Structure 1
Amino acid sequence: MKFLAVLTVRNEAAFLLEWLAHHRAVGFTDFLVFSNDCQDGTDTMLDRLDAMGLVTHVRNDGPYAKGGIQFTALKAAADMAPVQQADWILPLDVDEFVNIHTGDHTLPALLAALPDATAITLTWRLFGNAGAIRYEDRPVTQTFTRAAPNVLYWPWRASMFKTLYRNDGTYAKLGVHRPRSPNKDRLENARWFDGEGRALDRKFATNRIFSPYGRPNHALVQLNHYPLGAMETYVLKADRGRAVHSDHMLDLDYWVERNFSTDDDRTVQRLAPQMQAELDRLKADPQLSDLHQQAVTWRKSRFETLLKREPFRALFGRLLMTPPTRPVSQRAARYLVHHANLGRNSDPD
């Protein structure tokens, strides 16, 4: 059984080895990784990992399609051998970690719990900043343990999912959140389930990208999403640019909608021993170890450079002044949704 993770990265070498080690422990067998315009050695690290037979590295240096950097990479991936040969596929970002709650916490255990599934939605659980200011070279999954409540009522973006799907020809193309270009003759046999193990209705097979919010979505599996990191890391993320909306600089709106820190969730650490063993093996390679340390040094140096520029210095100052995000009550969320529906249904004139 081939489980393929597809990843797009830029200037993420300091985080890449942990991400790879964790997902090897989860049960992914293959990795197709696209890099673009890296200054921190991410592309060189991926070249080394490719030479070691651990990933397939593709440089995604442009030009880019209208949908942006990540869309361009996923569009190209459809015709590549790792995708053609995969049994199951999951496009991910480097700040997303699969966290399985059933069996031995691996992909085969998840499929055993949902034997009829041809697609499984992995709903985000957002992990907030929790007051971390400076970047430290420590595993993300052990540094950030404060998360959003298991049930959120707002915003809908907090309930977005990524899709683990069987590569059986039902979908011809990869998508950021869900597979695209369905084969209408095969859709009848598509069986979508959510992270609670609930069978999903037919509309999920063609056009949904977020789970119904205001209810639990994580009993069997969740996608730990660490979109912020330390404040220093977030400034570098703003400098790096967005993979989808690359012309939009990250600011406080993105931060506030994701900086939930009300609950403690350390469940991903059940695989910490296996992840650490994989990480130790990776860092035993002298070239990978050196590239990792160079990336850590680069991040520190780049942050000092950015603080000399007003947009980034102002952003860092605002982060220091902004408290953790307060979850919206169910009543307030209903009020917002009501007016959102009014706006959607009103005459645009």
Structure 2
Amino acid sequence: MRSLAVLTVRNEAAFLLEWLAHHRACGFTGFLVFSNDCQDGTDAMLDRLQAMGWLTHCRNDGPYDERGIQFTALNGAARLEPVRKADWIAVLDIDEFVNIHAGDRTLPALLGALPGATAITLTWRLFGNDGIAAHEDMPVTDRFTACAPSVIHWPWRAAMFKTLYRNDGTYRKLGVHRPRSPDPDRVAQARWFDGAGRRLGPGFARQRVYSDYGQDNFALVQLNHYPLGAMDSYVLKADRGRVNRDGALGMDYWVERNYCSDTDTSIAALRPRRDALLAELRDDPVLGELHRQAVAWRQARFRRLMEDEPNRALYARLLMTPPARPLTPAQARQMIDHARRGMAKAGG
């Protein structure tokens, strides 16, 4: 079975080796990585990894689709050999880690638990900042363990998913959250399941991008999502900008994702396999030096950004703001009622 993870990155070399080691440990056999306008050596690191046989690296230098850099990369991906040859595909981000609970916690175990599936939703579990101010050179999945509850009622973004799907021609284009351009003659035969093993309705085969909230979606698999990281890393992320659309990253993005009410360390089950692969990568003299340079680049870039008042103001607000408080079911129902009335008015 050839399973492919597709990734787009910019200035994220400090996190790349952990991400690759984890996903190789959980069963992905191939990686297709697009880089864009990197100043921290991410592209050089990817060139080295390609030479070592770890992945395929494509420079995504533009021009770009109006929907953003990531859409541009994915639109062209279907023509590339790694995609054509893959049996299963997942489009992921550098802050997302597949966390399988079935069997030995690998992709074959997950697919064995859902033998009839042609697509599996990997629902986010949001991991918050937990008051961590400074980036340290250690695995993200080890350092950040505070997270949202397994059952969350609001906001809907907390229940968004990425998709692991069979590359059988049912979908002709890759998408950020789900495969796109369904073949009208085949899509009715698609069999979608959620991360708890439940069969999903036809809406998921065509357009849904978030799971039903108010229920646990993680019995077989979840997608650990670390969108914030350390506070200084968030300032760098805001400086980099969004990859899919215009608009600054500010406190609204932070508050809607900074859940720290629960703790989840289940991903540590893969740590021995991950650590062996990570040590192999860091022991390479080229990769090891590029990684060290990337960590130094992040430190220097943060110091430079702190010279400007808007960045200092954002950092100070991060320091002052407590974690997000999960809404009660009653509060969530109230928000859902407001949203439905607003949609009905807009559509009427």
Tell me the distance in 1 between the aligned counterparts of 2:11 and 2:299. 13
- The answer on 1:3 being equivalent to 2:3 is yes
1:21 positional shift? 0.2
Letter in 2 for 1:124: W
**Which residue in 2 is equivalent to 1:124?**
124
**Which residue in 1 is equivalent to 2:282?**
283
1:177 positional shift? 0.3
- The answer on 1:319 being equivalent to 2:339 is no
Tell me the distance in 2 between the aligned counterparts of 1:129 and 1:146. 8
Letter in 2 for 1:126: L
1:320 positional shift? 0.6
Tell me the distance in 2 between the aligned counterparts of 1:86 and 1:284. 29
- The answer on 1:91 being equivalent to 2:76 is no
1:244 positional shift? 1.0
Please give the residue correspondences for 1:103-114 in structure 2 after superposition, counting only pairs within 5 Å: 103-114=103-114
Tell me the distance in 2 between the aligned counterparts of 1:72 and 1:340. 32
Superposition misfits of 4+ residues, deviation over 3 angstroms: none
**Which residue in 1 is equivalent to 2:43?**
43
Tell me the distance in 1 between the aligned counterparts of 2:290 and 2:240. 19
Letter in 2 for 1:120: I
Query: When the two structures are superposed, what TM-score results if normalisation uses the length of structure 1?
Result: 0.99
Tell me the distance in 1 between the aligned counterparts of 2:203 and 2:102. 27
Alpha-carbon distance change, 321 to 287 in structure 1, aligned in 2, over 3 angstroms: same
Tell me the distance in 2 between the aligned counterparts of 1:147 and 1:206. 30
- State which drifts further: 179-188 or 287-296: 179-188
- 1:65-106 deviation digits (Å, cap 9, x = unpaired): 011000001001011000000000000000000000010000
1:188 positional shift? 2.4
Letter in 2 for 1:19: W
- 1:255-314 deviation digits (Å, cap 9, x = unpaired): 000000011100000000000000001111100000000000000000000000111111
Alpha-carbon distance change, 202 to 61 in structure 1, aligned in 2, over 3 angstroms: same
Tell me the distance in 2 between the aligned counterparts of 1:347 and 1:79. 39
**Which residue in 1 is equivalent to 2:166?**
166
Secondary structure at 1:8's aligned position in 2?
A: strand
- State which drifts further: 60-69 or 164-173: 60-69
1:184 positional shift? 1.1
**Which residue in 2 is equivalent to 1:220?**
220
Percent of aligned pairs sharing the same letter: 66
- The answer on 1:271 being equivalent to 2:270 is yes
Letter in 2 for 1:316: Y
Tell me the distance in 2 between the aligned counterparts of 1:12 and 1:316. 20
Letter in 1 for 2:20: L
- 1:97-126 deviation digits (Å, cap 9, x = unpaired): 000001000000000000000000000000
**Which residue in 1 is equivalent to 2:149?**
149
Query: When the two structures are superposed, what TM-score results if normalisation uses the length of structure 2?
Result: 0.99
Letter in 2 for 1:171: Y
- The answer on 1:194 being equivalent to 2:191 is no
Aligned length: 348
**Which residue in 2 is equivalent to 1:297?**
296
1:54 positional shift? 0.5
1:347 positional shift? 4.8
